[in-house]
Each structure stands twice: as structure tokens, then as C-alpha cells.
Amino acid sequence: MGYYLVDFENVKKDGLDGIHKLEAEDHVCILYSKNADSITFEQHKKIMESKADIELCKVDVGSKNALDFQLATQLGFLIANKAADSYYIVSKDKGFEILSGYWKSRGVSVTLIADIMGRSHDQETLELKKKLQETLTEILRENDDVTVDDVLKTIQQYKTKQGIMNALMKKYPSADNKKSSKIYKTIKPLLSDKKGS
């Protein structure tokens, strides 16, 4: 039996990948806020198909990391009440690794994963790197100062599309920002989990 705590503000709909494959003894708590409170019809369908016990938990916001603190508190409550054999924090926020390590040192299985399917952050990074390699092929041929690793680092460092664009303009300055604009337009389809338009 597994208990999944989903940081929906962080992972959005992608974090729910695999929810329809869970079993009846599994539990999912989707922590969301007014900052992230919508899903697609396809994701809704997968949630409805899931055999797992699913709880929607709207959390209060107003301070930095408000959802993270509430998730950590919920995890402690569940562990104290022996709610499951294994616990999973579904988030791309690597700050939760400290929480995972804390509980593992006390004999409790707490694993940080990027989605309910169980992909690790390393797997997700490798997949994104591969997609970037494919997407940026033409740009990489034309510009020897552009690297997949630099673009990957920029994507992972910023939470918003605007932040990524600004960082690309700073890293790859050119007349009328043509180089950074071309890179951004090329990678934009890969940024669906980032805030902004």
C-alpha cells in the first residue's frame, strides 16, 4: 500500500501520470491551491478511472512555500498514524529530498518522485535532455556557443517562462535578441509545466 502526496502547484497535470494504474489499497492526496487548481478532461478521466482512494486537499497560500509546509505536516501526520507502508512525495522540488532523507533515517520509506508512475528526477532530466537534443538540432549546428546542458540548466533553474526567456537573452545576447528568441520558440513546447504564457 502506497500513499502519494502530490504537490500539484509544482508538478501540475504531469505529476498525475500513472494515477489510473494505482490499486484500491493505494491513497492519493492531491494538494492544490488557488495558484494551481485546474486539470484537463483527460486527466480528470484518468483520476475517475483510478481504483485508488483519492483526496483533494485545497491548501492555504499567502506565504512562500505554504503548500510545501502543509505537505510536510500532512506527511508527518500520516506516518504517525501508520497510514501506509510506503510514502511518495510527487514533486519536482528537490527541497523535499531533505524530508525524504529525514524519514528514511528513521526507518520510514519516503521517496521523492516526479510523477505517480514513479519516474525519478534523474530519469526526468535525462528525458528532457534527450528532447532538447532533438529539438535544438538545427540551432546547435548553427551556433557553437549553444549547448544542450546550458539550455537544460536554464529550464531547470527558472519556474516561469518569462524567467527562462530573460536568462536566455542574457546568456545568448544578439541583435534584436534573435538568437535567444529562436531558442525560446524552439523549446517552448517543452515548457508546459512552467508558469506564464
Based on the domain organization, do 77 and 44 belong to the same domain? yes
Number of domain units in the chain: 2
In a domain, 42, yes or no: yes
Based on the domain organization, do 106 and 137 belong to the same domain? no
Q: Which of 93, 119, 145 is the last residue of a domain?
A: 119
Based on the domain organization, do 81 and 131 belong to the same domain? no
Q: Which of 80, 99, 119 is the last residue of a domain?
A: 119
Based on the domain organization, do 20 and 9 belong to the same domain? yes
Helix count and strand count (H, E) for the chain: 9, 5
Q: pLDDT tens digits for 96-113?
A: 999 999 999 999 999 999
CA neighbor of 160 nearest in space, from 193, 137, 124, 132 = 193
Based on the domain organization, do 109 and 175 belong to the same domain? no
In a domain, 163, yes or no: yes
| Helix 161-171 with 148-157: angle, nearest 10 deg | 140
- Return the pLDDT at 36: 75
Say what the pTM is. 0.69
Based on the domain organization, do 73 and 149 belong to the same domain? no
Based on the domain organization, do 33 and 53 belong to the same domain? yes
CA neighbor of 127 nearest in space, from 104, 146, 152 = 152
In a domain, 65, yes or no: yes
In a domain, 140, yes or no: yes
Q: pLDDT tens digits for 19-68?
A: 988 999 999 999 998 877 788 888 888 889 999 999 999 998 878 888 99
Supply the range of the domain harboring residue 10: 2-119
Based on the domain organization, do 141 and 153 belong to the same domain? yes
Domain harbouring 94, CATH code = 3.40.50
pLDDT > 90? residue 127? no
Based on the domain organization, do 100 and 138 belong to the same domain? no
Q: pLDDT tens digits for 148-158?
A: 989 988 888 88
Based on the domain organization, do 108 and 34 belong to the same domain? yes
Residues 6+ apart with CB under 8 A from 169: 177, 180
Q: 52, 22 in Cβ contact below 8 A?
A: yes
In a domain, 168, yes or no: yes
